[in-house]
Amino acid sequence: MPPVEKEKTRAVGGNQVRSLDLSGHVGFDSLPDQLVTKSVQNGFTFNIMCIGETGLGKSTLMDSLFNTNFESSQSPHNLSVVKLKAHTYELQESNVKLKLTLCDTVGYGDQINKEDSFKAIVDYIDTQFENYLQEELKIKRSLSAYHDTRIHACVYFICPTGHGLKSLDLVCMKKLQSKVNIIPVIAKADTISKTELIKFKQRILAELNSNGVQIYHFPTDDTTVAETNQAMNAHIPFAVVGSTDFVKVGNKMARAREYPWGTVQGEWRSGTVIENENHCDFVKLREMLIRTNMEDLRDTTHTKHYELYRQARLEKMGFSDVGPDNKPVNFQETYETKRSEHLDEMQQKEDQMRQMFVQRVKEKETELKEAEKQLQQRFDKMKREHGEEKRRVEEERRQLEEEIAEFHRRKAAHMAGSGTLTLGKKKK
């Protein structure tokens, strides 16, 4: 027999809504299982950005978190600008596939002038948001197959000075707080004592609050993890120690850092992973970042940080949900309006360019006419000067010819006088 429905009514927003209690099994309670199966088939994506000065152990911590070796190269300290290097890896644990992208900030904090150290990081995060937005705006889009490179978690490494945050730390986190989930960690926490570490954590939280820096807090709205997350929020910033070396401690192999005076253990291995939490917060960080809140980090990135970027980007492009009369408008109307405005603007620019071209042509014609007039004047002047020079030469030529003729005449007369005198002498 089909299940018998018991009808109830309840008021929602002033309207009566029917509510049915099922007396038998229908089957939509299998929806979570269907979602899990589909998600496992598609696989998951998780992107981590590590921000911190060179040598704080960013790559080592990532190797320790995922219990593998990502084969990262050591970064130099003499880079003139901050460069971001992202590497994607495909990991598989049981039947769950994870496409992990690790982004490292190479050269961060190494420059003498650190004023623009955060700019490359902000530009990189905005570029990933812009790429996703362009994929969303495509006519033929494929978000299920799109490789999402948006940063889901930003692990910010704080230098273990014990004296508080640097100005660069505060400025950078302030710029990133609306773009990414910031998880501050104290790197190489084994270099300071426990008493100093507690005071250092308190000083960091006080400086973050006084400067209005918003960091990521683990969610407490889910009752299944509320108690755990609330307790873990009290440990922020996490004091971590990473290591890729295994040292034999007793009869067990431990991932640890060994010193002349003892061994700092990051985690133990004995069949199942047994973590030692007496020395650092590495286990807490891994538990919160990967095992408990990875999906919340992904969801917060999409629903909060990406939505803020998307909203600002579309508003900058001129799109809005309401019109001038404060009434809702759809995307098509806004697009048509913007298209009409754009065409009008382009037409105005075309008219302005045409007028400018005509004006420039007229100015050029005026310049050419003036140049032609000056050339004509120079030609007339040179022509007059040439005529005068020609007349002067002709006059000098005429005078020279007359002098030559006079010379020949006088020469002839002289020759004739000389001949008569010679004949007279002979007759005598």
**pLDDT tens for residues 303-320?**
999 999 999 988 887 777
Longest dimension (CA), the chain: 186
- pTM > 0.85: yes or no: no
Per-residue pLDDT tens over the stretch 103-115: 988 888 877 777 7
Domain boundaries, the chain: 38-241+280-317, 244-278, 328-403
Q: What is the pLDDT of residue 166?
A: 87
Q: Is the pLDDT of residue 377 over 60?
A: yes
Q: Is the pLDDT of residue 88 over 80?
A: yes
Residue 118 carries which side chain, given as an amino acid letter?
F
Mean pLDDT, rounded, of the chain:
81
The tokens for 197 are 């570490």
Please compute the mean of the pLDDT values over residues 145-167 and round it to a whole number: 88
Flag the least confident range among 101-110, 326-335, 353-362: 326-335
Q: What is the pLDDT of residue 239?
A: 86
Q: What is the pLDDT of residue 37?
A: 86
Please say whether the beta carbons of 83 and 29 come within 8 A: no
Task: Report how far residue 215's alpha carbon sits from residue 228's, in angstroms, rounded to the nearest whole number.
Answer: 18
Please say whether the beta carbons of 70 and 87 come within 8 A: yes
Closest CA to 216 of 293, 103, 309, 322: 293
**CATH fold label, 38-241+280-317:** Rossmann fold (3.40.50)
Flag the least confident range among 51-60, 144-153, 165-174, 213-222: 51-60
Please compute the mean of the pLDDT values over residues 198-207 and round it to a whole number: 91
Percent of the chain with pLDDT over 70: 82
Flag the least confident range among 8-12, 394-398, 420-424: 8-12
Q: Is the pLDDT of residue 356 over 90?
A: yes
Q: What is the pLDDT of residue 246?
A: 61
CB contact set of 11 (below 8 Å; sequence gap of 6+)? 17
Q: What is the pLDDT of residue 32?
A: 82
Q: What is the pLDDT of residue 328?
A: 72
When comparing pLDDT for 9 and 329, which is higher? 329
Per-residue pLDDT tens over the stretch 19-46: 777 777 788 878 888 888 888 888 899 9
Q: What is the pLDDT of residue 389?
A: 92
Conformation bin of residue 383: beta by default, left when phi > 0, alpha when psi is -120 to 50 = alpha
Q: What is the pLDDT of residue 204?
A: 92
Please compute the mean of the pLDDT values over residues 188-204 and round it to a whole number: 85
> Residue 153 — pLDDT band, cuts 50, 70, 90?
very high
